[in-house]
Amino acid sequence: MSAERIDAVSSPRYAQLPTFMRLPHQPDPEGYDVVVVGAPYDGGTSYRPGARFGPRAVRAESVLLHGTGVDRPQGTFDLIRAVDAGDIDLSPYDMGAAMALATSRLAELAERNDALLMIGGDHSLSLAALRAAHARYGPLAVLHLDAHSDTYPPVYGGTFHHGTPFRHALEEGLVAPGALVQVGIRGHTPAVDSLAWAREQGVSIVTADQVMEDGIRLVLDLLQAKTAGLPLYVSVDVDVADPAFAPGTGTPAPGGLSSREVLALIRGVGALRPVGFDVVEVCPAHDVAGITALFAAEIGAELLYQYARSHKGKQA
Ligand code: MN
Ligand code: MN
């Protein structure tokens, strides 16, 4: 494939092989601002499986997105150089092997490029991505958008399931003290006090109800206060949005944010110091008309623009 992004003027957007946002496919990238990488895996899901097909669905929907648009004085790809590195070939059978390979591949990519955008896959692999970002940048601030805290202990004999990534990240010292901010948390959890452990670790938990009551601006003020100056990792589980906006996911929870609210939160990231991203938990078999995959693609596109704005843009 060409070393340039496919030009929508000469090639209709439904044509050619679907890389993320029609970026060039570069399986061995070095020196790029951002590398997009797929992590097709759902060995960590606790309910509906199928997120292994997420990267393919997200890429397919992402061909619609240009990177230029309203309120953008410069387009994303006028500001940064980005490529799609393809997928990591993760074992569908062995959770430990998948985590080990994801960790080594993401660390290698992060060492040779400035930032990664991982397309999941289930949320368990965010631990591997956090390890890679930590190896490059040191203790991280984290913005985690999700219906679930994902700080639960291992269950069913599975150490690295999709409810554990932020517990491991805290225990492994990947997160700077008090710098994990979770937004959109709600719904049913296995125990009445299942958020207590996270709060004891200094995690800031903003529930979906609090987002509604306080508004996006106050949430962004909290994020700024908790993460100022630190390298910021952003992890988006699409189930942060209400199932009306993101039906295609493994553990849906009613009462969530709208897609507009999620994107408004992400638009605050460019004022901070973002260094790594993921968008996870798209399960195409439960999707309707590609709603969730397109939403995830838009989140990824917005994260790329926010990275560009933060690191290369002339305006704050
Ligand atoms: Mn979730
Ligand atoms: Mn999650």
Considering the domain boundaries, does residue 182 fall inside one? yes
Alpha helices in 206-279 (DSSP H): 208-214, 216-227, 259-266
CATH number at residue 182: 3.40.800.10
* Residue 15 resides in a domain: no
Q: Can you give the residue range of the structural domain that contains 89?
A: 20-311
Q: Compute, in angstroms, the gap from residue 238 CA to the centroid of ligand 1.
A: 7
Residue 44 to residues 73, 248, 253, Cα–Cα distance (Å)? 41, 17, 18
9 domain residue, yes or no: no
Strand partners, 38: 87, 119
pLDDT by residue for the chain (316 residues), tens only, comes to 447 899 889 999 999 999 999 999 999 999 999 999 999 999 999 999 999 999 999 999 999 999 999 989 899 999 999 999 999 999 999 999 999 999 999 999 999 999 999 999 999 999 999 999 999 999 999 999 999 999 999 999 999 999 999 999 999 999 999 999 999 999 988 887 889 999 999 999 999 999 999 999 999 999 999 999 999 999 999 999 999 999 999 999 999 999 999 999 999 999 999 999 999 999 999 999 999 999 999 999 999 999 999 999 865 4
Residue 10: inside a domain:
no
Could you tell me the distance, in angstroms and rounded to a whole number, from the CA of residue 146 to the centre of ligand 1? 5
Cα of 75 vs centre of ligand 2, distance in Å, is: 30
11, part of any domain: no
Cα–Cα distance for residue pair 88/39, rounded to 1 Å: 5
Residues bordering ligand 2, an ion, CB closer than 5 Å: 123, 146, 148, 150, 237
pTM: 0.97
Distance 88 CA to ligand 1 centre (A): 22
Establish if 4 belongs to a structural domain: no
Number of domains observed in the structure of the chain:
1
Q: Determine, yes or no, domain membership for 305.
A: yes
Q: Does residue 30 lie within any of the structural domains?
A: yes
